[in-house]
Chain A
Amino acid sequence: MKKVSVSFTLNGDSVKAEVPATWTLLKTLREYFELTGAKEGCGVGECGACTVIMDGEAINSCLCPIPEVEGRSVTTIEGLADEDGSLHPLQDAFLKNNGVQCGFCTSGMIMSSKALLDQNPDPTEDDIRTTIAGNFCRCTGYVQIVESVEMAAKEGK
C-alpha cells in the first residue's frame, strides 16, 4: 500500500495524516481522525451525506483523494460549534425547526448550508434548494430543512 503524508488544517488545527494514497478525505476523517460526523451514504458522490467544506467550498469528501487535501483547510460538522459548546446558528435552527429527524443526512446538509451562508448571507429559497440539491433526505421532505436554513440566515443578521 503506497502511503502518503498529508498536512492540512482541520477545523482550525494543523494536522498530518499518514494514510494510503488511495484513501479519500471521507475515509481519512472517519478512520484516521475518528470524526464520524461525515457519513458514507453512497460512496459515489450522489447523496451528499459526506459533504464537508474545503477552502470555503462544499465538496463530496467521498470523492476527494486525500493527497489533494495537502495544504488546504477543511471544516467538518465537528468544527462548527464554539469551544464552549454554543451551537452555530445552523445547528440551533435545525434543532428548533425539526430540520433534523433521523440525522444521517444532517452533517452534510448543515455543511452545504454553511458554505452557502458564508458566501451568501441572504439566500432566497431557490438558492437554498439549489445548494442542498445534492444532499438527499428521506425523512423531512426538505421543507423544514429549508426553513431551518432561512431561520439561521435571519439569526446571522
Chain B
Amino acid sequence: MEEKMPDHLFVGKSIPRTIETDKVTGKAVYIDDLKRPGMLYGKILYSKHAHAKIKSIDTSKAEKLEGVRAVLTGRDIPDVRVGFLKDQTVLKRDVVRQFKDEVAAVAAIRPEIAAEAIDLIKVEYEKLPGVFDPFEAMKQGSPLVHEVDARGRPIKSNILPLPWKFEVGDIEQARKDSAYISKDTVSTTWVNQCCMGTSGCIAEFDQNNNLTLYDQTNVIFGHIGRITEYFSQIGLRGKKIRVVNPVVGGSFGTKLDTDIYEFIAIQLALKTRKPVKILFDREEEFQALPPRQPAVFTIEQGCDKEGILTFRYCEAVLDNGSYTSWGATTPSVMIMPMSSLYRVPNVYFKATCVYTNNIYAQAMRGYGNPQATFAVETSMDTLAEEAGIDPAEFRLINRNRSGDDTPMKLKITSCGLEECITAVKEKLNWDDKKGKQKGRGVGMASLIHVAGGARVTKSDGHGMMIKLDEYGHVDVIESGTDQGQGSPTVISQIVAEALGVRPEDIFLTFGDTALALWDAGTHASRHTFMAGNAAIGACAKAKRQILEMAVEQMPKIIKGGFKRKKRKDPEFVEPALDFGLIANPEDLDIRDRMVFPRKDPDHPYFKLPLTQILQNGLHVGTGQSKVVMAEEFYDPPTEMLNWEMKGNLSMTYAFGTCGVEVGVDEQTGEVKILKLVSAHDVGKAMNPTLLLGQIYGAAYTGVGYALTEEIKVRNGRVMNPSFRDYQMLTAMDVVPIEPVVIEPIDEAGPYGAKGVGEPGLVPTAPAIANAVYDAIGIRITDLPITPEKILTALKERKV
C-alpha cells in the first residue's frame, strides 16, 4: 500500500480535530443527551446477596406507583440464556450468583420514579454458601456456582470447559538444557475501565417489531448477531435490528459484548411499546459493569549461558466470576506475549478459568496482554538476575526481529523492538543508573500486540463506502465506532490524501448498521489500520470513477469554453492542445481538489476543479448522468487461531518498550515516577498529535494499573464503587511521560501505519515493578504495587 506521491499533504500531519467541534461547544449528543419521543426510563433491581435462592418477588407496590409503565421479573420474560457460554439469563428467576445479578426491572416516565419503584420491590432470599477464591472454587467439595450448563447437563466442577492450552517444543528437555532458571508467581486484580460516559442505551421497536438500538457498542454488527440469536428465541425471529452509535463517552473495552442491561432495555421496550433508556449512574458503573479480568500466573523461564531463552512455562488461574463474558477469552490474547514476546523456542501455557461468586470480567484495553506481560516481564528480570546479565541487554539478546515466525505462528514483518529498547536505555541513562542508585531505580518492559487487525471472528473485515456530491463533499460511511480516539480526523486525512481533496471536505458517519457495510469491531487497536486500508481501496475506486468522468467531460468543458470565448471575441484563436494528455483515466490525477494530467500538472487549460467535473458528469441532460460512489470491504489475508492456539491472526504486530525511573520513599512505601519513557513502533504516525494522545492516555492508565487502581471486592461485594475511593489518577498526580515514536514503515498498513490504541498500557506495570526492584531490592508481584505492600516487604526484610 505505498503512496507514490512525492510527499503527503495530510497524512503524517497534526491536523486539528476541527471535525469534532461539537465536542467543545456542548453540542455533541451522547447517550445521556439522547431523547426519543415518548421515551421511558428503565432501572434495574440488583441482588442483595452473592449467592442465594430467590424465594419470592413481590412487585405489587412498584406496579401501583404512579408513572410506572412496566415491572418485569424473570417470570415475565422467556428464560433465554445469553452470554459467551450461555450461562446466564436476562433476569434471574431462581438463583442469584453475584451481587450484580439482575432480579427485576422497571420502566417509568421519569428516572426518579423508576428508582423509587425499584425500592418498592420486595425480594425474599435464602442465602447459599458462596465461594470467592478461584483456588478454593477449584477444589472438590466447593460450593458450585452453577448446577447445570447451557444444555441442562449437570455441572460437577467450577472449572470452565475452555480449551486454553498451548504447547510448542519440549519443555522438559529445554529445562535440562538451561543454565539458569527462574520461577515466579504474580497476580493482577480487577480494575474498572472508568469511561467518563457511563453505560447506557435506548431500545425502540417499530410497529412491526423491528428494533433500533441507540447504543455505545464498539461492535455494532456483533450486537446484531447476538440480539438476532436472542430474538429467535423470544418469538421475534427474522426481525431487523439497527444499531446506531451516539457520540461515545469512552470505551476502553467496555463495549464489546452485549450486556444484560441491553437485553433488559429491549424487554422493557417490547413490553411498553415505547422507547426505553437505561443509563447507569456512576455507582452502578462500578458495581454492575464487568471490569478487567484478574489472573494469577505461575511462570518459569530458562536461558543458556549466553542468555538465550530456552523455554517459557506458565500456568494461569482466572477468577471467572459467576458468568462468562470476554474475560474468559483473554487467554487467547495472553498467548501472544506468552509465546511471542521475545524469541523463545519452547513454550507451554495453560489457563484455567474458574467460576466464583465474584463479579465477572469483560474486555479492557489490552485484553489480557497487560496481565500476561506483567508475568512475562517480571520473569525476564528475575531470570536476567539469575544469569547475571543486565535486564536491558537480556531483552536485546532475545529480541524479536523482522522476518521471525513465532511459536504461535505470528509472522513478524516490521519490527522496531530493538530501537524501542535502545531508545529507552538512552533516555533513562540506563547504564549510569541501573543498580547504582539507592532509593531510586530504573526498570523496563516491552510489549507485542496485534496492530494489523485481529481475526478473532471468521471475518476480520471492515467495510467503507464513500460518495461524493457535486459540490465536492465526500460522505464517508464508516462501519466502525468512533470512541474518541480521533478516527474522524485520521480517516478524513487518509481519504483526503487518497482521493485528492481536503480533510474539511470529508463528512463521516460512524456506527450505524443501516448504512454501514460490516465491521468486526473497533477493538484490538485495529480501527485505523482496517479503516485506512478500506479507505485507500474505496478511494482508488472512486478516483477511477472520477477520472473516467473527467476523460469524458474535460474536453467538452474546455472546448465549450473556447466556443464561448470565440463568440465574445471573434479574434480569439483556439490554442493547439494535445488532448491526448487527458484521453485516459490513468494519465490523470487529483490533488487538492483539482484534476490534472500527470505529465503536466500545471497545464494552463487541463487543470480543472473537481467540482466542475462532478457537476458536469451529473447534470448532463442526456440520460447518461453519473454519480461517484465506491466501497471497499477489506478483509486481510490472516488466519484464525486453530485448535492449538496457533495462527497469524494479524497483518502486523506492534512492539514497544516502557522504561521507568522511580524513587521510593522507604519510610512510607510510596513510589514516585520520576520519568516514564514510552517507546512505540507505530509503522507510520498518521497524525502525530493524535498519536501522542493515545500514548499519553494509555501510559497514564497503565500507571494507575500498576500503582493505585483496584476494585476492592469482599465476599463478592464491590466495596469502593465511587471515584472517591477508586483511585483513578487526577491531573495533580503528575507522571512525566516522554514518548518516543519509531516508524518502521509497515507495508501492510495504510501509508505504513500500525495500530497503537492499546500498546501504551501493556508494559507499564512490569516496568514499574522492575524499577522498584532496582531501587530497593523489593519485588512486588501482586498488582497494584501499593505503599502498604512495599512497607510490609521492607519490614519483613529488616527482620
Contact = CB atoms under 8 A, between A and B. Distances in A.
A106 B24 contact: yes
A104 to B, nearest CB: 4
Interface string B25-43: 1111110110000000000
Interface string B669-706: 00000000000000000000110110011111100000
Contacts of B30: 36, 39, 104
A100 B732 contact: no
B318 interface: no
Interface in A28-80: 30, 35-44, 46-47, 49, 76-78, 80
A103 B484 contact: yes
B196 A110 contact: no
Contacts of B438: none
A105 interface: yes
A141 B695 CA distance: 9
Contacts of B21: 87, 91, 95
Interface of B: 16-18, 20-21, 23-30, 32-33, 193-198, 247-252, 281-282, 483-486, 689-690, 692-693, 696-701, 722-724, 728, 730-732, 734-735, 737
Nearest to B365: A138
B64 to A, nearest CB: 19
A112 B9 CA distance: 36
B196 A105 contact: yes
A87 B24 contact: yes
A129 B699 CA distance: 18
A6 B486 CA distance: 40
A35 B33 CA distance: 9
A97 interface: yes
A141 B282 contact: no
Contacts of B26: 35-38, 76-78, 107
A99 B693 CA distance: 8
Given A41-B196, A47-B196, 4 more contacts: A46-B723, A49-B196, A97-B689, A139-B697
27 contacts: A44-B724, A46-B282, A47-B282, A47-B723, A80-B25, A87-B21, A91-B24, A100-B23, A101-B693, A101-B697, A102-B195, A103-B20, A103-B24, A104-B195, A105-B196, A106-B23, A110-B24, A132-B731, A133-B731, A138-B193, A138-B194, A138-B196, A140-B693, A141-B698, A141-B735, A144-B689, A144-B692
Interface string A1-37: 0000000000000000000000000000010000111
Contacts of A40: 32, 281
A44 B734 CA distance: 24
A96 interface: yes
A98 B689 contact: yes
B724 A100 contact: no
Contacts of B281: 40, 42-43
Main DSSP-derived SS at the A contact region: loop
Contacts of B252: 138
Nearest to B695: A141
A80 B25 CA distance: 7
Contacts of A47: 196, 282, 723
Nearest to B32: A39
B498 to A, nearest CB: 23
Contacts of B486: 98, 101
Q: Interface residue tally of chain A, by bracket?
A: 35 or more
A49 B724 CA distance: 15
A98 B25 contact: no
A120 B735 CA distance: 25
A96 B489 CA distance: 11
Contacts of B484: 101-103, 139
Of the candidates A43, A133, A136, A143, the one having the most CB atoms from chain B within 10 angstroms of its own CB is A143
Given A87-B21, A98-B17, A104 B249 contact: yes
A124 B618 CA distance: 57
A16 to B, nearest CB: 21
Given A76-B26, A100-B17, A140 B697 contact: yes
B112 to A, nearest CB: 9
A126 to B, nearest CB: 9
Contacts, number: 169
Contacts of B25: 37, 77-78, 80-81, 87, 91
A138 B731 contact: no
Contacts of B724: 44, 46
A78 B703 CA distance: 34
Contacts of A78: 25-27
A80 B197 CA distance: 22
A18 to B, nearest CB: 17
Nearest to A79: B26
A119 B30 CA distance: 31
A60 to B, nearest CB: 12
Contact of B728 (A44, A96, A136): A136
Interface in A136-153: 136-146
B677 to A, nearest CB: 14
A129 B697 contact: no
Nearest to B723: A46
B115 to A, nearest CB: 12
Contacts of B23: 100, 103, 106
A37 B33 CA distance: 9
A95 B20 CA distance: 8
B249 A102 contact: yes
Contacts of B29: 36
A90 to B, nearest CB: 8
B427 to A, nearest CB: 17
Nearest to A140: B697
Nearest to B248: A102
A144 B693 contact: yes
A129 B20 contact: no
A80 B696 CA distance: 28
B568 to A, nearest CB: 40
B24 A133 contact: no
A132 B731 CA distance: 6
A88 to B, nearest CB: 9
A140 B197 CA distance: 14
Given A35-B26, A100-B24, A110-B24, A141 B249 contact: no
A94 B731 contact: no
A110 to B, nearest CB: 6
A43 B484 CA distance: 23
Contacts of B247: 102-103
Contacts of B732: 129-130, 133
A77 B696 CA distance: 26
Of the candidates A97, A130, A139, A144, the one having the most CB atoms from chain B within 10 angstroms of its own CB is A139
Contact of A129 (B18, B193, B734): B734
A106 B250 CA distance: 12
B696 A141 contact: yes
Contacts of A145: 731
A20 to B, nearest CB: 10
Contacts of B27: 37, 78
B67 to A, nearest CB: 12
B252 to A, nearest CB: 7
B731 A43 contact: no
Contact of B16 (A36, A42, A96): A96
Interface string A116-130: 000000000000111
A51 B26 CA distance: 12
B277 to A, nearest CB: 13
B194 to A, nearest CB: 5
Of the candidates B33, B196, B252, B483, the one having the most CB atoms from chain A within 10 angstroms of its own CB is B196
B197 A104 contact: yes
A145 to B, nearest CB: 7
